[in-house]
Structure 1
Amino acid sequence: MTSREDDSFLPEALRFRPTTPLVDIGANLTHESFQRDLGEVITRAKSANVTTLIVTGTDVSHAKQAVRMAQEFEGLYATAGVHPHDASGWDETIAQEMRALYHLPEVVAVGECGLDFNRNFSTPREQEHAFEAQLALAAESGLPLFLHERDAGSRMRDILRRWRDDISDAVIHCFTADQETLHGYLDLDLHIGLTGWICDERRGHHLRDMVRDIPLERLMVETDCPYLLPRNLPAKLKGRRHEPALLPWIVKEIARWHSVSETELGATTTRTAQRFFRIEADT
């Protein structure tokens, strides 16, 4: 099956190349849907001037897979952490494996870690235990944090407030919460990652009203692919899989609601991501 026949082929109308290189800070390229055409996905991203991809590691296995991708493909980097859904499995063996990963040059952040009180696949107590253990590893390694939070903003802020002097930078990835939660994170000097959620008129409308509250130097952009396909695309895909080549459409929507040009938003978020992850974007 060729890329023109499968669900990942992008119609001509979706091929949008911005003038400034972009950094996708959250790409779940270890997802099984990318196994058949990972190389083509990365090529399409580069063609769309999405030159740097941070591949999310949500457990030991996926973090190691993300590292292998980063070793194989130029412009890819990895995070390494345990997602709150899997927090019940946290133990000292996992802690030691994570500690070893943080010594690798391909690993640029601790995470994805945090709290998710929406689904509670792990209990809140288990989540908090694993989260604080990973905050300790972030403090030890000096790496920034790639954070997940859903329906747990108050508790997340309480925990982060206690650790704030010990950790370096942190980003709340795929932010979808309310204004009070946003301002609480900004007061803690955190960064905010926005996704195609803002392109969804059904559930992302509130983000449009408060995106200007986020200082440009605290904002980063991401696809969170293969999830959250943007709803502002001018053409339909055969399937529903999202991919990094579509990041420019998210930038376009954020720029619209932030009342800045796409070029300014792209350039600023790229500089912020380079500084945050301590990398140089490939151009």
Structure 2
Amino acid sequence: MTSKPTATFDDGLPEALRFHSPTALVDIGANLTHDSFARDLDAVIQRARAANVATMILTGTDREHAEQAVTLARRWPGLYATAGVHPHDASQWNAELERVMRDLHREPEVVAVGECGLDFNRNFSSPADQERAFEAQLGLAVESGLPLFIHERDAGPRMLEILKAWRDDIGHAVIHCFTGDRATLYGYLDLDLHIGFTGWICDERRGHHLREQVNEIPLTRLMVETDCPYLLPRNLPAKLKGRRHEPALLPWIVREIAHWRGITEAELAIATTATACAFFRLPDAVHLAEDS
């Protein structure tokens, strides 16, 4: 009987999708605790390293996934975690959950409070519950001194009102996976917030407006992310079986953003990595890439 060939970490991506960034990248939003990564997480992380995605911030959207993110960050150098409650789950916010989040924010692997914020697109939790949980987590960010990892969908005006009221108290904050209009973008920039861009810019149906707006974001305020396994870029040069997004594809998003900004991939990679390392208070991602 012929033995079955041993799978390699490259087997998860066709050759046309095996990108490599010219310099080290930081993926500021990777949902690697998602069930779809359970079967091959080690290979996913190895593929990210091969693509020169040196650092990944694992998104904690509730207690379970934040605790899982911390566990993974302890296992893998270059992985860090956020800890928060997503607006979809805001109705679950209570004193016990607040205590758990406060404890998680003391863990050295946790580099931001969130994912937290407002989502008036789907309203899985009521707007009132979302605002209550969000403001509680703004308070935790003030208490811990950690930056904020913020979700906002179809809630720009109310988000701006809340953040203006808190701006003198909170530190750095990033609007992750920004998809809004120019007025909302300018409102965030006027508050000195950071902006996270994903593969949404690769979507000719929904992301066309971002191709102009990306030029209006200072490089010191711009960061890049996959938000994997979601938001797989629609313009990839090859089809991906299963359509699961992963950090190894971040260089393609960087290439797209660099194109619309009129700069090189290396320039964008260097700038966004420096911005992310300063924002999350990370060690030099370049050294992590060289050591991996």
TM-score, L = length of structure 1: 0.97
1:241-252 equivalences in 2 (<5 Å): 241-252=244-255
Determine the structure 2 residue equivalent to 1:39: 42
Alignment match, 1:113: 116
1:129 shift after superposition: 0.2
Deviation at 1:4, TM superposition (A): 5.6
Q: Which amino acid aligns with 1:170?
A: A
Q: Distance in 2 between matches of 1:190 and 1:90?
A: 25
Check 1:233–1:205 CA distance in 2 against 1; reply closer, same or farther (3 A cut). Answer: same
For residue 258 of structure 1, what is the aligned residue in structure 2?
261
Please tell me whether residue 24 in structure 1 is matched to residue 27 in structure 2.
yes
3-state secondary structure, aligned to 2:121: coil
Corresponding position: 1:92 with 2:98: no
Q: Does 1:123 pair with 2:126?
A: yes
Aligned 8 A contact 2:147 2:172 in 1 = yes
Counterparts of 1:116 and 1:89 in 2: how far apart (Å)?
A: 15
Q: What are structure 1's unaligned runs of at least 5 residues?
A: none
What is the Cα deviation at residue 259 of structure 1?
1.2
Partner of 1:238: 241
1:80-111 superposed Cα distances (whole Å, 9 cap, x missing partner): 00000000010010000000011110000000
- Residue 278 (1) aligns with residue 281 (2): yes
Cα RMSD between the aligned structures? 1.6
1:101 aligns with 2:76: no
| TM-score (structure 2 length as normaliser) | 0.94
C-alpha separation in 1, matches of 2:92 and 2:250: 33
Deviation at 1:232, TM superposition (A): 2.3
Q: 1:45 to 1:3 in 2, by over 3 A?
A: farther
Stretches of 4+ moved more than 2 A in 1? 1-8
The corresponding residue for 1:223 is 226
- Alpha-carbon displacement from aligned partner over 1:147-198 (angstroms, at most 9, x marks no partner): 0000000000000001111111000000001000000000000000000000
1:192 corresponds, among 191, 195, 213, to 195
The residue type paired with residue 95 of structure 1 is: E
Residues 136, 149 of structure 1: CA spacing in aligned structure 2 closer, same or farther, 3 A cutoff?
same
- Give the distance between the partners of 1:5 and 1:222, measured in 2 at CA: 25
1:62 to 62, 65, 69: 65
Displacement of 1:6 in angstroms is 11
The question of whether the paired residues in 1 share the 8 Å contact of 2:9 and 2:44 is answered with no
**Could you tell me the percent identity over the aligned residues?**
70
Partner AA of 1:48 in structure 2? A
Whole-angstrom CA distance in 2 between matches of 1:228 and 1:190: 23
Are the counterparts in 1 of residues 17 and 238 from structure 2 also a CA contact under 8 Å? yes
Superposed displacement of residue 13, structure 1? 1.0
Give the corresponding residue for 2:17.
Answer: 14
What per-residue deviation string (whole Å, max 9, x for no partner) do you get for residues 35-70 of structure 1?
000000000000000010000000011100000000
Question: Is the Cα contact below 8 Å between 1:7 and 1:241 reproduced in 2?
Answer: no
